[in-house]
Structure 1
Amino acid sequence: MMIRLPQIFPLLFSLTLLGTGPAVAQSSATGQLTFHDQQSGGTPRKRMVFREGDPLYANLKLAAPIAASLAELAPDTPKDSLFLRGNFHFTFRVDGEVVYEEALNAGAGSRTFKEQATDFRMPLSSKLGEDFWSRFMWMRFYYRGGGLLALAEGQHELTLEVRPYRYADGKTGQLLARGSVLLDCVRPAVDERQLALSPPNYDEAFGPGRIPIDTTLVQNLKRRIHQGVFKDITGIAVVRDGQLLLEEYFNGAAASTLHDTRSVGKTFAGAALGIAIADGHIAGEDLTLGEVYDLRKFDNYHPAKEDISLRDLLTMSVPLQGSDNDFSSPGNEEYMYPTDDWVKFALDLPVDATKLERPRWDYFTAGVVVLGDVIHRSVPKGLEAYAEAKLFAPLGIKDYRWQYTPQRVANTAGGLQLNLLGLARFGQLYLNGGSWKGESIIPAEWVDKSLAEQVALPRDTPGGGYGYLFWRQHYRVGEKIYPTAHCSGNGGNKVYVFPEQHTVIIVTARAYGRPYGHPQVDQLMENYLLPAVMKGH
């Protein structure tokens, strides 16, 4: 699977130039790209032993600076603004196959660099922590773009191709340089006894698995986890047709471990809301904040705040200046946690006029905190007691742990901790259409709304849509497409529901804040888990 990823994070860096030259009219000559195993350069390497984290540098010599190539791509662009109109485009090939492509953004490289540099060193894999765009690009290729899987044990040819890229239309120019190196990739040894499949802990919820799975593929997955190819994974469970087919633990986790699933806990708030509506404690998801709070008592009052509905909170479509995807946003969750009242933090936020004009999805944790507060105010004995009586107890989930807001309300921002099979029960509840052992816990209509796409996601956001605190996604295995709805939490925590295949898959992980946290789960799903357990589906 080849991944294209524009470099969307501006990087401030300095880059040591080995040579500079004036811009020339023609840049048609192919430059030279060589690989090295040390920062100082030395003799170019044609073949290297490579372990994850080993030093790997590339030296790029160009016939002319990148600005000259951009001038050819955009001949009508004023010379003084060429450095803003494009940058380098890199293609990573492994054994001849394109694995990853990236176009650098305008922040990668100063104007002087773009107008003068013709000979420079690029750190790729390095233990020195250089603040260079090339090192961050390598990390995206290696950990998010499939490089770690492509460079498996054995010998592989890594090829890097460099072209100019124009932002206006995404056009790439002629090849500027290409270089290759043979990497003898080495992975840590694994005790073969660790690869045997563990006996699942069958209980009254999930019986023995009689459906065949590809045990070799599962063992290969376990090898990759023990080798650290897939990092910080703590648990995997697969339930199909109510049968527990797979239950595996890693990195010190066990059946009793309560996993901090971060934002997976948000979806439990959605479940509690559906139950509260069915019980008549809340009028419905069209209930507005103006019907719950006296919004004039909060900062930045605007009439539009009165009309924000619970549906808006459920679908992350809130017209406030709140975005967890933008660290500069006033409503970013990182600014909420140090405050002493998270609900006030959210309701104090200014209205975003652009979202009023054109409503859109924008991930907003503080909005789900407000959702939890609305439930807490509306149900008997508060949210925590209500969820225990109406959700956890009926599902037979006894081991779980809430985190709390400063007001000691169960925290719906995330952090709810459950063991692996407790998460599986929650997923199975949605697969069952909201029923458990023949009794309705969540109305089937609410389950349908939750799993269905309610809003589209922005083009630069992975996924296929967003429901009521559920993500929509499609996985491809060969020619087969597997649609799923899932809860997702920082670090790579997932509760997948595959209605068409009658399957629930749980992945827990501790890759909190790591760039590979979510992408590696997509990789293990498409390359290992789904092919192993969906045989015949």
Structure 2
Amino acid sequence: MKSNYLFILITCLLLSCKNSGQSKSSNTSSNEIENLFFSTVDFTKAKISSEAYSKNFDLHNDNFLSIAFTLDKPLIKSLQELAPSLSEEELLSKGNFQFSYLIDGKLIYVENLNTGAGPKTRKTEMLKQVVPLVAPERIGFWGWYMWQRFMKVNGGLDAFTEGNHTLSIAIKPYLKDGTLKVGPLLAKGNIAVKVPKIYIDENLVPVQKIQPNSGWEIAKDNFDNNKIEALNRKIAEGRFEDINSIVVIKDGKLLIEEYFNDATRDSLHNPRSVGKSFASTILGIAIKDEFIKDENTLLKDFYDLKSYKNYSAKKDSVTLKSLLTMSSGFLGNDWDNDSPGTEDKMQSTDNWVKFTLDLPMHKDKIIGKDYNYFTAGSNLLGDIIHKSVPNGLVSYGDKKLFAPLGITEYKWFHTPQNVAYTGGGIELRAIDFAKYGQLYKNKGLWNGKQILTKEWVEKSLAKQVSQDYGGIKGMHYGYLFWNRVYTVNDKDYEVSFCTGNGGNKIFIFKDIPFVIVITASAYNKPGSHANVDKMMIDYILPAIIEKQ
């Protein structure tokens, strides 16, 4: 959907600034003079001056927080001291401020601020610096995103336990020119932070009993109730935002089924880009049924590419496989707002297929190898399926996929040409998303019927293209499926999964007998994916693995 790019951008911002520059050297001694000050006034209405400085911050009840500090000299001068031989332009492209966050004297997070953050004048001229950190709504300022990274992704929220704490922020210059160089302290300050007790409805904590008529056989296996109840408490407290459902399948049987925030078994969930994987599934069925030859079929076999803008011979080499693996070479990247081929730009037109085929090719990208997150390409696959199968994509998908799985309640979103939107536009019940995941766990087999070939499932979940996504361990991309590794108690678990804006997931584990569905509606909220990772690593996987 149109908000997918914003979510992806936020996610990339959250992950990209997580830096190996974290070190104990970022701690500051207690006898240093404090020259960084905090304010809880509304910075959207008032300038931050010494009269507005605050000594206390209520984490749950104060809507605003900002910091102010005054440098002895512009940042560029401190960067020059780290690398005297570099030009001003080189220094600005390689360095910025380093922020260290400490809670009760313990280093929690260090961020080497992205070199593109802040205007040039902030680094070359300004001495007095004011950085907004907290606001009731998202603001377009790097300080807000940095605070979100600190709190939601890098441990701040969990370190601020109920009670009273001291938050310290220390600022230094850094330069990354081959190696990381960190200069002397520029500013440091403390503020007392109060974390009030969160009161919840205790009825939300116990593990929810699975109700009859789920369509699944109920598993009799044990799991760690205490872990799941601890997770339920965190969800009730809002630590994990906008979680709507958790479904765990073990050995093809329903082990856990829980709903939150007014969701029920009958709720249809909008998992955004999880829907991309369904394009891969239905394409695999169409190949099995011989309506499409195979994934190596060329794009030019479906469209007269020369009749579209920006034709080049390179475009003739685009295959369905390269669209499945997001390595088609089109000049489209949803993670780059300046890219001409983002989902938002596509959805602002009245013909999404034409928009995509009109795009130029990237001159340096290698088709089938170089990854770019390209929603428009996923939508193109839906159009190809639609024009290749009997009665169109929706009818064919219902007959060949949903009906055999016993799925009757679902909803497609559609393109302006009334074709099912395979860029991320399908809603199902959580227990039906679990059926979809179990189909892949079963190597394409369901109730004795081979819906997908085993070979297609294996290729779909395989590590087709390497994918550097925030340094996450083992990250690869298959046929519109992701692949990564979770580490729990020092043991690695490989998993293929569908993922979508807001924290939506379908996990299909390789070597353990689990399919896990999490639906959420934390759309475009920083940390939504990090929240799911923490839920999996700290709660769900330990609860079900240790009881095997």
User: Among residues 527, 530, 536, which one is paired with 2:541 in the alignment?
Assistant: 530
State the Cα RMSD in Å. 2.7
User: Among residues 155, 162, 177, which one is paired with 1:146 in the alignment?
Assistant: 155
Alignment partner, residue 33 of structure 1: 36
**Equivalent residue pairs, number:** 515
Deviation at 1:525, TM superposition (A): 1.7
Report the TM-score, using the length of structure 2 for normalisation. Answer: 0.87
Asked whether the equivalents of residues 100 and 141 of structure 1 are also in contact (C-alpha less than 8 Å), the reply is: yes
Deviation at 1:271, TM superposition (A): 0.8
Report the TM-score, using the length of structure 1 for normalisation. Answer: 0.88
Q: Does 1:437 align with 2:447?
A: yes
Change (3 A) 1:155 1:70: same
Alignment partner, residue 183 of structure 1: 193
Deviation at 1:270, TM superposition (A): 0.6
Q: Distance in 2 between matches of 1:368 and 1:338?
A: 17
Alignment partner, residue 121 of structure 2: 112
The higher-RCO structure (CA 8 Å, 6+ apart) is: 2
Alignment partner, residue 307 of structure 1: 317
Asked whether the equivalents of residues 503 and 519 of structure 2 are also in contact (C-alpha less than 8 Å), the reply is: yes
Equivalent position amino acid for 1:375 in 2? I
1:370-428 deviation digits (Å, cap 9, x = unpaired): 11122122222221111111111111111111111222222211120000100000011
Q: Distance in 1 between matches of 2:99 and 2:542?
A: 31
Alignment partner, residue 172 of structure 1: 181
1:285-335 deviation digits (Å, cap 9, x = unpaired): 101112222222222221222221110010000111111112222211111
Deviation at 1:101, TM superposition (A): 2.6
Residue correspondence of structure 1 range 253-402 to structure 2 within 5 A = 253-356=263-366, 359-402=369-412
SS of equivalent to 1:184: strand
1:162-188 deviation digits (Å, cap 9, x = unpaired): 221114335131341444444231253
Equivalent position amino acid for 2:487 in 1? R
SS of equivalent to 1:497: strand
Q: Distance in 1 between matches of 2:82 and 2:195?
A: 38
Residue correspondence of structure 1 range 222-233 to structure 2 within 5 A = 222-233=232-243
Q: Distance in 1 between matches of 2:129 and 2:348?
A: 43
Alignment partner, residue 134 of structure 2: 125
Q: Distance in 1 between matches of 2:76 and 2:368?
A: 37
SS of equivalent to 1:404: coil
Equivalent position amino acid for 1:69 in 2? S
Q: Does 1:405 align with 2:415?
A: yes
Residue correspondence of structure 1 range 79-90 to structure 2 within 5 A = 82-90=91-99
Q: Distance in 1 between matches of 2:525 and 2:401?
A: 32
Alignment partner, residue 14 of structure 1: none
Asked whether the equivalents of residues 54 and 125 of structure 1 are also in contact (C-alpha less than 8 Å), the reply is: yes
- The 10-residue stretch of structure 1 (195-204 or 311-320) with the greater mean CA deviation from structure 2: 195-204
Any gaps of 5 or more consecutive residues in structure 2? 1-12, 19-31, 42-47
Q: Does 1:475 align with 2:481?
A: no
Change (3 A) 1:191 1:358: closer
Asked whether the equivalents of residues 237 and 505 of structure 1 are also in contact (C-alpha less than 8 Å), the reply is: yes
Q: Does 1:58 align with 2:70?
A: no
Deviation at 1:471, TM superposition (A): 0.8
Deviation at 1:214, TM superposition (A): 2.0
Alignment partner, residue 256 of structure 2: 246
Q: Does 1:99 align with 2:84?
A: no
Change (3 A) 1:96 1:440: farther
- The 10-residue stretch of structure 1 (345-354 or 420-429) with the greater mean CA deviation from structure 2: 345-354
Deviation at 1:129, TM superposition (A): 6.9
Q: Does 1:212 align with 2:215?
A: no
Equivalent position amino acid for 2:420 in 1? A
Any gaps of 5 or more consecutive residues in structure 1? 9-28
Deviation at 1:109, TM superposition (A): 3.3
Equivalent position amino acid for 1:145 in 2? N
Equivalent position amino acid for 1:503 in 2? F
Q: Does 1:163 align with 2:163?
A: no
**Percent of aligned positions with the same letter in both sequences?**
41
Asked whether the equivalents of residues 202 and 208 of structure 1 are also in contact (C-alpha less than 8 Å), the reply is: no
